[in-house]
């Protein structure tokens, strides 16, 4: 079966729906992520896990959610790093004051 033909519309639809939510990604990068996840999901699917289209939908939408979380994680980590740098300067100041 030619999965590229079968899921082309789904991938295009996913790109269109997620374009605004993923401003750091180009349409081609989002499409590449979809196809990569789709290829992995097809190899993990067996007939006992429901319909292939449902399996693909779950895998691809899950990946899109992960990509949308990425900027929030970067922001959290950068804030955490900034908090540690402030803490380091406080420790240095305290150490200099005590000496």
**pLDDT of amino acid 97:** 58
Q: What tokens does 22 get?
A: 């993923």
**pLDDT of amino acid 12:** 93
**pLDDT of amino acid 71:** 66
**pLDDT of amino acid 46:** 86
46: burial class by Cβ within 10 Å (0-12, 13-18, 19+)? exposed
User: Tokens 């292939």 correspond to what residue?
Assistant: 52
Q: What tokens does 16 get?
A: 């269109």
**pLDDT of amino acid 94:** 53
Segment-wise mean pLDDT, segments of 10 residues, the chain, 99 residues: 84 92 88 90 84 89 88 57 51 56
Show Cβ contacts of residue 1 under 8 Å, excluding neighbours closer than 6 positions.
none
- Residue extents of the structural domains in the chain: 8-98
**CA neighbor of 38 nearest in space, from 21, 22, 19, 54:** 54
Phi-psi region of 22 (alpha: psi -120 to 50; beta: other; left: phi over 0): beta
**pLDDT of amino acid 17:** 92
């Amino acid at each position: 079966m030619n999965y590229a033909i079968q899921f082309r519309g789904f991938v295009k639809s996913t790109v269109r729906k997620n374009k605004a939510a993923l401003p750091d990604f180009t349409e081609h990068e989002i499409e590449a992520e979809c196809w990569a996840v789709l290829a992995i999901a097809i190899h993990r699917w067996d007939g006992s896990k429901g319909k292939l289209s449902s399996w693909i939908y779950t895998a691809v939408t899950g990946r899109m959610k992960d990509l949308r979380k990425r900027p929030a994680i970067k922001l959290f980590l950068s804030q955490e790093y900034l908090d540690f740098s402030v803490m380091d300067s406080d420790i240095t100041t305290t150490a200099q004051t005590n000496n």
